[in-house]
Each structure stands twice: as structure tokens, then as C-alpha cells.
Amino acid sequence: MEISLEGKVALVTGCGPNIGSGIALALSRYGAKVACNDVSDESIAACIRRIERNGGTAMAAPGDVTEEEDVRGYVEAVLERWGRIDILVNNAAVLGGRGVLDEEAAAFERAVRVSSLGYFLNTKHVGRAMAERGIRGSVVCISSSNGWSGTAGVIAYAFSKGGVNNFVRAAAMDLAPYGIRVNSFTPTAPTPDNPELLAAGVTGVLQSPPRGGDRGAGGLGGPTGDEPWRRPERWRGERTPMVPMGTTGTPTDIGHAVAWLSSDYARLVTGTDLVVDGGARARNFAYLPAAAGDLAGPVPLVGLDGSAATE
């Protein structure tokens, strides 16, 4: 099976150096032209550089995914330049946060807004552009394992990612008559493999740290208010022993899967979720995976970025 996105145009939101950049690069390596969105011009520039040095074609689509005028503006700019959008990847999100006793209303609202309004506005305007042109495109909404099971310390993130999962099913029904597919992809704390992050010394699982300062209801049920059980467990360096295959993979693994999901091979895949996580989500709570030394491990990663491949 030779996946080709040749002739297709993709828009990826939130092209930061970790997952967004990995997906954008993969779509480009499979043949798509890629419009890179972010609120950070620096992240957009780095993503475009990465695509171009790997032989791809990219453009900037700067803007805030929660501002309808911004979304309209960059969607128009992509249509003006390339005439079509075949693939939308809703990826921009605000990670990290606090638990239900400590989260602040403004932070909760912002995190939920980016994942809810952001995913909605981009799906609406790109969906309309696809439908108007008869393009039977693909929308992929990046979810999280936090959208499927509970984690302490990220109440807004968990709320919004749970919402993403049902947004996908409902939007899939809205867009099915036009031949447009809508699915989610669920990453599970991948190991960064962007050479620029590796060069900067980032090697472990990359997640936003919990926000510091006064944790609001600090001390309730514990002496400091900052006990580990109030936060998601964060694995650094060595891979968590709780993953059956020994690894949840890299942004490159995510990119390969999103490229397939956006290709014509997946023409009847809609309203569902794809997860590439080494069995992490499939694991029953009472099952302890084999020790790292007893694992065969996955086959080697098919790298997409010259020097990449950390696993």
C-alpha cells in the first residue's frame, strides 16, 4: 500500500515543535502541500523550515483558532494560494492545568475554548470550503488519552478532550452527505523526535508542566497542596513500564497514522478514533505489562526527518 497525498492541500493548526510539526511534516512527506497555523510565528517558521528542508511545500497560516475572523482569514489565504483544502488537522490545544479544586475559571475557559471553539470554527470554515468545491476531504481532530479516561490535575483539558470525541461523531454525521470524513486521533504522551527539540536537549515525554504558584485550595487533604497525587504522573527519560509494547511512540508514528487516515485508503473511515499507543489505552487496570527487558519491542520506526528516529 503506497499512501500518497500528492495533489492534496492540508491545514494543520497548532504547529508547535512537538506533535503539530510532526503531523505537518508527515503530511508533506506523503505528498501534501501544508499550511501551518499557530499563534506563535516562531513555531510556524520552524515548522515551515522543517518541511522545506525535507523537500516539501508549506505556507504560513498565522492566527488564533478561537477568533472567527482569524480562521476565515487564513482559510481564505490558503484557498487563494492553492485553490483547495483537502485535509484539516485540528491540533492546537492548551496543555497542562490544574485539578478541579484548584483550577481557575479563566484558565479553564481558555483551555476549553481553544479545543472546543477552535476545533468547531476550523471544521466549519474548512468544511464549507470543501463542500462548496465538492472536495471529499478529511478532518482529523487530535484528542488525548485524557479524553477517554480520567487523570488528576488537568480538569479543563480532560473536559475539552472528552468533548472532542463526541464532536467528531456529530460532525461526521453533519459532513457525511458531502463525502467529508471526520475522525479523531488519540496521541498518548509520545516521545519527541523533532531533531530541533532533540538538539535542545528534550528527550523525555514532553508535556506542559503543571502551572506553579498558589494552587488555590492548597493543603486540602494534604499538607502542601502540591502533592503528586494532585497532578498527572509525568514520565521523563525512561519509558513508563505500564505500556504493553514498551513505548507509546513518537510524533512520526502519529504522522504516519494521520496521513493514512487522511488518504483515500480510509475513504469509509468516519466518526471514529485511531490510536497508536503501544496498547496503553487497551490495558486493563489490573494487568501489569512485561518488564522492559522481556519485551521484543516494536519494529523500527520508519523515520521521516533525516536525522530523526529516537526509538
Instruction: Return the residue matching grid coordinates 532533540.
Output: 198
Our CB check for ligand NAD shows the closer of 18 and 240 to be 18
- Minimal CB distance residue for ligand NAD: 16
Our CB check for ligand NAD shows the closer of 160 and 270 to be 160
Our CB check for ligand NAD shows the closer of 175 and 189 to be 189
- Cα–Cα distance, 246 to 103 (Å, whole number): 33
Which candidate, 188, 189, 147, places its Cα nearest to that of 169?
A: 147
Our CB check for ligand NAD shows the closer of 96 and 179 to be 96
Which candidate, 116, 123, 213, places its Cα nearest to that of 175?
A: 123
Cβ 29 to ligand NAD shortest distance, Å: 18
DSSP 269: -
What is the contact surface with ligand NAD in residues (CB under 6 A)?
Answer: 13-14, 16, 18-20, 37-40, 43, 64-66, 91-95, 114, 118, 142, 144, 187-189, 206-207
Q: C-alpha cell of 89?
A: 488537522
Cβ 198 to ligand NAD shortest distance, Å: 15
- How far CA 260 is from CA of 52, 119, 121, 145, 268, in Å, comes to 21, 21, 24, 20, 12
Q: C-alpha cell of 280?
A: 496503553
Our CB check for ligand NAD shows the closer of 38 and 86 to be 38
Does the annotation mark 157 as catalytic? yes
- Cα–Cα distance, 163 to 181 (Å, whole number): 18
* Burial class for 207, CB neighbours closer than 10 Å (0-12, 13-18, 19+): middle
Our CB check for ligand NAD shows the closer of 135 and 189 to be 189
Within 8 A by CB and 6+ apart from 251, the residues are 18, 19, 21, 22, 23, 187, 190, 192, 193, 194
Q: Which residues pair with 88 in a beta bridge?
A: 11, 139
Cβ 150 to ligand NAD shortest distance, Å: 14
Judging by DSSP bridges, how do beta strands 58-60 and 138-142 pair with one another? unpaired
Determine phi and psi for 160, rounding to 5 degrees: -70, -40
- Cα–Cα distance, 163 to 96 (Å, whole number): 17
The one catalytic residue among 30, 74, 119, 157? 157
- Cα–Cα distance, 20 to 104 (Å, whole number): 27
Cβ 44 to ligand NAD shortest distance, Å: 9
Cβ 164 to ligand NAD shortest distance, Å: 8
Cβ 214 to ligand NAD shortest distance, Å: 23
- Cα–Cα distance, 276 to 274 (Å, whole number): 7
Cβ 188 to ligand NAD shortest distance, Å: 6
Q: Which residues are catalytic?
A: 157
